[in-house]
Homo-oligomer: A and B are copies of this chain.
Amino acid sequence: MSCSVLFLSRQPRMAAATGDPGLSKLQFAPFSSALDVGFWHELTQKKLNEYRLDEAPKDIKGYYYNGDSAGLPARLTLEFSAFDMSAPTPARCCPALGTLYNTNTLESFKTADKKLLLEQTANKIWESIKSGAALEDPVLLNKFLLLTFADLKKYHFYYWFCYPALCLPESIPLIQGPVSLDQRFSPKQIEALKRAYDDLCQREGVTALPYFLIKYDENTVQVSLLKHYSDFFQGQRTKMTVGVYDPCNLAQYPGWPLRNLLVLAAHRWSSSFRSVEVLCFRDRTMQGLRDVAHSIIFEVKLPEMAFSPDCPKAVGWEKNQKGGMGPRMVNVSGCMDPKRLAESSVDLNLKLMCWRLAPTLDLDKVVSAKCLLLGAGTLGCNVARTLMGWGVRHITFVDNAKISYSNPVRQPLYEFEDCLGSGKPKALAAADRLQKIFPGVNARGYNMSIPMPGHPVDFSSVTLEQARSDVEQLEQLVGSHDVVFLLMDTRESRWLPTVIAASKRKLVINAALGFDTFVVMRHGLKRPKQQGAGDLCPSHPGGPADLLGSSLFANIPGYKLGCYFCNDVVAPGDSTRDRTLDQQCTVSRPGLAMLAGALAVELMVSVLQHPEGGYAIASSSDDRMNEPPTSLGLVPHQDLLCKRGC
């Protein structure tokens, strides 16, 4: 909270009520708004997740303290708890109820009708005075307004604070004082006041009383709630004393909260009393000793306004740092830990999608998905980049290759330096790069091979042990992730992960490139075992066969969808033997891996958004007349592109 001092205005000038040149006029020290970093942080969260585009006024809560040492301005503090109306008020602080007007654009912030906003609140205060509600609950006199615009991209907050004070029709002449309480009260009286105030607070169960009534003589001091004024002052017609919990430190001036109390007093009691004595109760602890002796006391003439029906004029918009009437801006980004700032900023872009474009988008399902990327080449790098864009925090790479000189221009997680020597292992370098891009990611790399059909293991040597441990490691990895991406450069390396993922019922997204063609598909998902349903290849070719009798146009449920190997007529084998250089997968139009990588992730996101997840019926553009099944549109079985032909 060391930043909060940033948002304090300088020592304010006094606000004087005008009129009656005979006597000294009472002047008031206005509030300075003290908006804590925690407040802005919480506003950010509310705006992002709850308010979104809603510009309706919101109830918020602030408080003020009256125990500051001399020199500090009277502050109305708003912190992270401001949005929780049931949050407790800190000890020895007085609550103030506010209204937040948070605009969607800087333009509406600037053009907001501040006069109208002030009048509306002043009216409410006036109504509570007239109706007597303010007597019952004096907190109603402590209202404030906060007009804001939050530029969440830059962590710039524009704001204008207003603490409405109703104005008496004329200025308030000082009859006596102000003097320090210890100049008027004996130590005994002071002690009695303190005790009486504490007892009343305790009885009422409040941390502080903003306004109260006082009766005293040489030996005793009594205090009471405003609403008991007739009983409390019964028979007493000579003198009325009111206490105000005063956030101001200045010896000659009371703070702002007194203003509305004086209006209430004038309205209620000016017919009975010509003047009122005011005790500005100030209550500090210095060097372990509690002290209220520096409170001030004075007497003012009460204007007559008992029968005025109209709301008096009101003032209260805070001046800005330059002393003029205008809004303030605070840049919170400098106060934030850069890594934390990066996390919030990434969240922001995602959450903005939910405001209007895809309000039902369930981001948690995406962000929390643990993704296993088998292959950290052109596809792996592009898939990882897109996952990062979607806010996915848990990304694991598996690859057994090292970075070669031709990689960086096509594999967007590597740089020239990574190729030096014999090249860094791709899986490890990719994980490192993700951390460099976004420190909040949990990225790991496994530099290992995936056992493949057609690539026999030498059973007489240690390679058998290695292959066994590779299979175990792969099983463990598939088991500990939610989505498995097949992004390798051979067909046969996709086989074992396909089988393992099918047996563990993990969502598999498969992407494969040609020269100017690619396929991006989700594998069908076996039904949960307890349902005892039909199986799905590759573990069991029975699945797709079920479809033979059904219409081609029937929607196929996720558990009947095939996998990458379902339509193959040959078993996977060694596809790398006897291939010329240009028959290897990297001979591909350079843009293709980006297309396929991006579509693979978008497909995953769409599937995760579907209420049935991987069991979602495969939808296609033939279904485009139907309502899209998710907030992100269709959930097809596959995305195909032939760049040459279409």
Contact = CB atoms under 8 A, between A and B. Distances in A.
A592 interface: yes
A608 interface: no
A410 B412 CA distance: 12
Contact of A420 (B338, B577, B595): B338
Contact of A405 (B341, B419, B516, B594): B341
Contacts of A404: 153-154, 345
10 contacts: A52-B582, A105-B577, A339-B416, A342-B406, A342-B419, A353-B515, A356-B583, A357-B582, A516-B632, A602-B643
A16 interface: no
Nearest to A405: B345
A415 B105 CA distance: 29
Nearest to A420: B338
Given A107-B577, A338-B419, A386-B594, 4 more contacts: A333-B405, A338-B405, A346-B405, A385-B409
Contacts of A200: none
A416 B389 contact: no
Interface string A356-374: 1110000000000000000
A644 B632 contact: yes
**Number of chain A interface residues as a range:** 35 or more
A581 interface: yes
A580 interface: yes
Contacts of A151: 581
Given A405-B338, A405-B345, A438-B416, A107 B591 contact: no
Contacts of A439: 416
A645 interface: yes
A632 B590 CA distance: 12
A338, A382, A591 interface centre (most CB from chain B within 10 Å): A591
Contacts of A219: none
Contacts of A410: 349, 388-389
A409 B412 CA distance: 12
Closest 5 CB pairs of A and B: A389-B590, A591-B598, A345-B406, A345-B405, A633-B644
A406 B349 contact: yes
Contact of A436 (B355, B386, B417): B417
A624 B595 contact: no
A597 interface: yes
Contacts of A333: 405
Interface in A595-646: 595, 597-599, 601-602, 605, 621, 624, 628, 632-634, 643-646
B645 A633 contact: yes
B645 A624 contact: yes
Interface in A277-298: none
Contacts of A555: none
Nearest to A602: B591
A586 interface: yes
B582 A591 contact: no
A420 B338 CA distance: 7
